[in-house]
Structure 1
Amino acid sequence: MSKMSQLLDKAKNYVTEKIGEMPKPTASITDVDFKRVCRESVEYLAKVNVSNPYSTSIPICEINYSFKSAAREIASGIIPDPGSLKASDTTLLEVLVKVPHNIIISLAKDICADWDIDYQLDIGLIIDLPVIGNFTIPLCQKGETKLPSLSDMFV
């Protein structure tokens, strides 16, 4: 191996190591709750707190989500270009999950006893980090949420 090749390998390893040590934004799902019933779906709202350690705002490329219950996906979607993360601060993002009525009805038949559904919400928050490029923060939360009642449908 030539000295130039060895030098390039050392430089590449150094840069990779330093990028790996850079602080990266962190995120957590703080709440998932029933929001409302609309004509075509039932809406749930997930709140995500994202901390940005950098002194500059960071653009969010997209947010993708998958909402599962009873081991099957009942809703999924992509939120393109949802804004940016505040510099050196925490940003609250709201992810609106729309579950079609026919899915809710099939879940209700399975759950009738307590009118709750067990869920798993997977969120991929894709941000554009300087130097690194697109970086995905994977989030997952499992929990239980109420199905809408008749009074929720007529509000």
Structure 2
Amino acid sequence: MKKLLLSIALLIFISVSASAQQQFVWNYYKVALTLHDDFKVTKNTDEEFRAEGDGMEVYVDVWEENIAVEDMDEAVAKYALNMKMTEVDAAHEVHINGLDGFYVEGFKDGDRIMLAGLIVPNSHTNIVVEINFDDKDTTAEKDALAILNSIKKLR
């Protein structure tokens, strides 16, 4: 009986956890990302995608520069410095669902920021992803990485 109750409780927990996320699409570029269900889209235009959740903000913009993959690490670091981020760490290479690029982490205006530059294959489009969150939030970095890893180009 205990095993049955434990199994049922685990099944309910898994189904609730799975449904606590939703996929959003940046319509113009057909780029999708998965966010917690507390996120609300605040802007979805040809130029930018914005969403806000509990203690976290996600921004996705077109990066107008033509950047090769091998130069993206320096470009992301320079972008971070241009937006006046501080304590910027070394660039981390990422390969996310067919998108290649780099991300850095740092701080701005008291918030922790994860900043990524991604190259959309078979196009002349690069995107920049900025995820802002409270550094004191113990799960926010893990959540931000999950958001970053959820990004994909739709067909």
Query: Is the structural similarity TM-score above 0.5?
Result: no
User: TM-score, normalization: structure 2?
Assistant: 0.29
Higher relative contact order (CA 8 A, sep 6+): 1
More helix by share: 2
User: TM-score, normalization: structure 1?
Assistant: 0.29
Which protein has the larger Cα radius of gyration, Structure 1 or Structure 2? 1
More strand by share: 1
